[in-house]
Amino acid sequence: MNYSVKLRSGDSIHSTLSNRPSVKGKFSKIFLLLHGFPDNNESFQELAKILDKNYPKALILSPLMRGYEPSSYHKFNEYKPSDLAEDVHNWVEALGRPVTLIGHDWGAIASFKAASMYPDDFESVITMAIPYLSNLHLHDLLFYAPEQFYYSSYFLTMQSSYFYGKLRQLGSKSYLNKLWEYWSPSYQFDDDIEPVRKTLLFEDTIDHVTAYYRCVMNPLNIRHIRGHIDFDKVPTLIMGGREDQCMTVRLFELEERKLQKFPNAKVEIVDGVGHFLHRENPKLIGDLILDWLKEH
């Protein structure tokens, strides 16, 4: 994506990578690519090339999510999944319907919530690294995937600046590097992480992007988190890496069984990749997405 455009959501302005110099015009498809944490919108560069090659008349956009730059900073209680979904809806309103939504990590959570709140906005939703949490319950974790409690323990470090401030560390031994290494143990990310570090270190961005975790841990926000998708309206592909040590593959295996009765929902467990599956093997992930889109 060689161009930079702006998307607006209310008073917020989101810097957006694009395959076209303008979002105005007639396009065969519109793709919105939503990044996660700790990441930025450069996450999809290789995947976007694959989409662009196969859909040469499409518009492909990858915005910086809420809080990743000063122009989209919000109050710290306004980083709930429903707030992220509202951003997505506002972008779709400006771009035109329907949109194909592709989300990774927090981008996946935003995608699930947007699909539940605004199903008419989307022709298909594709998520990576996060299962469809709305049909999972505490007993699923306790009895089927107790390791997820350990994997998710980093949530606790995001509750206080004393701990999440470690994300400001520099170098290959930094907390940011350790997260990427642990979550994707086979990923040789080399310099890929440096643009992400630059994004996170700009002004007060770390305080804002970690607020996602403080909002989701607030019991008053439960209704803003879950959201059931009508898969007949919004076909949904859910992908998880078998080596992921942020979100255990056992939850994706459980999802696969839970969603068997829904013909328009599919879980794809991808071998040889971890949490950053689209960065680790964009060719494989691209092929899976293209196969899905041919059917939906």
Q: What is the mean pLDDT of residues 265-289?
A: 98
Confidence of residue 119 (pLDDT cuts 50, 70, 90): very high
Question: Cα torsion at 148, 74, 10, 79 (round to 10°)?
Answer: 20
Residue 12, pLDDT > 80, answer yes
- The percent of residues in the chain predicted with pLDDT above 70, rounded, is 100
DSSP H or E run through 284:
helix 282-295
For 86-124, letters b (16+ CB in 10 Å) and e give bbbbbbbeebeeebbbbbbbbbbbbbbbbbbbbbebbbb
pLDDT at 222: 73
Q: Pick the closest to residue 179 from 64, 63, 274 (CA basis).
A: 274
Asked whether residue 220 carries a pLDDT value surpassing 90, the answer given is no
Mean local confidence (pLDDT), 133-161: 91
pLDDT bracket for residue 219 (50, 70, 90):
confident
Task: Over range 178-202, report the average pLDDT.
Answer: 97
Structure tokens at 109: 């959570």
Residue 240, pLDDT score: 98
Q: Does residue 224 carry a pLDDT above 80?
A: no
Give pLDDT, residue 221: 75
Give the model confidence (pLDDT) of 36-62 as tens digits: 999 999 999 999 999 999 999 999 999
Q: Which fold has domain 3-295?
A: Rossmann fold (3.40.50)
What pLDDT is stored for residue 148 in this prediction? 94
